[in-house]
């Protein structure tokens, strides 16, 4: 889980018609968080969709994305090994808390139950496995979502304004938790936000798309 990963964006360009939305050529080192900022409409969500493999057909994209040197540009989303964290925790409402965590676990692997219980304990939710996610508090949900992401063993992570819907006091704690875990796991991460505090907490390079 702790093998270092590297995400490379080689001359990535995304156009809508004649308009170039994003032009990026960069590299994200293991454990590094690259922050992309910009007002709404600047193309930061489009960039995320492109990297995750969901780019809508009306956009045209050029360039290549390499993950640990492997070209993933043409791979479907589920085989890229890129994890996503959204604004909302998006816990599957029809599954229990444990069910949500199990959803991301790779199919192979023994004693899933034990790993899930362990993971819950690590985010301070021991014994919450059979709970209905709808009964959790906002902070608890966010932590479960993060843990679900980590359990799915991604090779890189995209963060789509993951703190914007949290209360101010929760936001600080979540930022710390998320960035700590990502660094610990050695994951290259790309954070999209319009909140400068997020960028500061991430502590990495910042690319501003509006400029």
Partner 1 sequence: MMLRLAPVLIVTLLVAPILAGLAMALLPAFGYLPALGGEAFSLAPWQALAAQPGIARSVAISLASGLVATTLSLAVVLLYLATATGSRLDRWIRRLVSPLLSIPHAAAAFGLAFLIAPSGLLARLTSPSLTGWERPPDLLIVQDPWGLSLIAGLVIKEVPFLLLMSLAALPQLDAEHRVAMARSLGYRPAIAWLKVVAPALYPLIRLPVFAVIAYASSVVDVAMILGPTLPPTLAVSILTWFHDPDLDQRFLASAGAILQLGVTATALLAWWGLERLATRLMAGWIARGGRRRGETGLRLAGKLPILLATGIAFAGLGGLAIYSVAGFWRFPDALPQSVTLDHWAQALPALGGPLASTALIALGSTLLAAILVLAALENEQRTGRTASKALWLLYLPLIVPQIAFLFGLVVVMEQLGTRPTHGLIIFGHLLFVLPYVFLSLSEAYRRIDPRWTQLALTLGASRNAVFWRVRLPMLLAPLLTACAVGLAVSIGQYLPTQLLGAGRVTTVTTEAVSLAAGGNRRVIGVWALVQACLPLVGFVIAIGLPKLLWSHRRGMQGAP
What residues line the site for partner 1 (CB under 8 A)?
52-54, 56-57, 76-78, 80-84, 86, 88, 90-94, 103-104, 106, 132-135, 148-149, 152, 154, 158
Which residue, 57 or 69, is less far from partner 1 as judged by CB? 57
Q: Determine what percent of the chain falls in helix, strand and coil, rounding each to the nearest 5.
A: 35, 25, 40
Cβ 5 to partner 1 shortest distance, Å? 15
Which residue, 103 or 210, is less far from partner 1 as judged by CB? 103
Cβ 76 to partner 1 shortest distance, Å? 8
Cβ 160 to partner 1 shortest distance, Å? 9
Q: How far apart are the first and last CA of the chain?
A: 37
CB-based contact 14:47 (threshold 8 Å): yes
Which residue, 81 or 186, is less far from partner 1 as judged by CB? 81
Which residue, 51 or 125, is less far from partner 1 as judged by CB? 51
CB-based contact 87:160 (threshold 8 Å): yes
Which residue, 85 or 202, is less far from partner 1 as judged by CB? 85
Give the separation between CA 59 and CA 15, rounded to whole angstroms.
Answer: 6
Cβ 116 to partner 1 shortest distance, Å? 14
**β-pair type (60-67, 7-16):** antiparallel
Q: Which of 5, 28, 37 is nearest to 192 (CA)?
A: 37
**β-pair type (70-71, 60-67):** antiparallel
Written as six digits, the tokens of 124 are 């301070």
Distances (CA, A) of 103 to 54, 142, 211: 20, 16, 40
Cβ 136 to partner 1 shortest distance, Å? 10
């Amino acid at each position: 889980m702790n093998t270092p990963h590297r995400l490379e964006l080689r001359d990535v360009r995304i156009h809508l018609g004649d308009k170039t939305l994003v032009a990026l050529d960069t590299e994200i080192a293991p454990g590094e968080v690259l922050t992309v900022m910009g007002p709404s409409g600047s193309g930061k969500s489009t960039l995320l969709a492109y990297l995750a493999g969901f780019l809508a057909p009306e956009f045209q994209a050029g360039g290549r994305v390499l993950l640990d040197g492997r070209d993933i540009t043409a791979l479907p989303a589920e085989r890229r090994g890129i994890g996503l964290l959204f604004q909302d925790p998006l816990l599957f409402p029809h599954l229990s808390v444990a069910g949500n965590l199990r959803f991301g676990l790779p199919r192979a692997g023994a004693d899933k139950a034990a790993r899930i219980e362990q993971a819950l304990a690590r985010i301070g939710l021991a014994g919450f496995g059979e709970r209905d996610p709808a009964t959790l508090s906002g902070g608890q949900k966010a932590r479960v979502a993060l843990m679900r992401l980590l359990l799915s063993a991604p090779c890189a992570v995209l963060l789509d304004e993951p703190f914007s819907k949290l209360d101010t006091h929760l936001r600080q704690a979540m930022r710390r938790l998320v960035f700590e875990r990502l660094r610990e796991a050695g994951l290259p991460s790309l954070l999209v936000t319009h909140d400068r505090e997020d960028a500061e907490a991430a502590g990495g390079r910042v690319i501003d798309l509006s400029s």
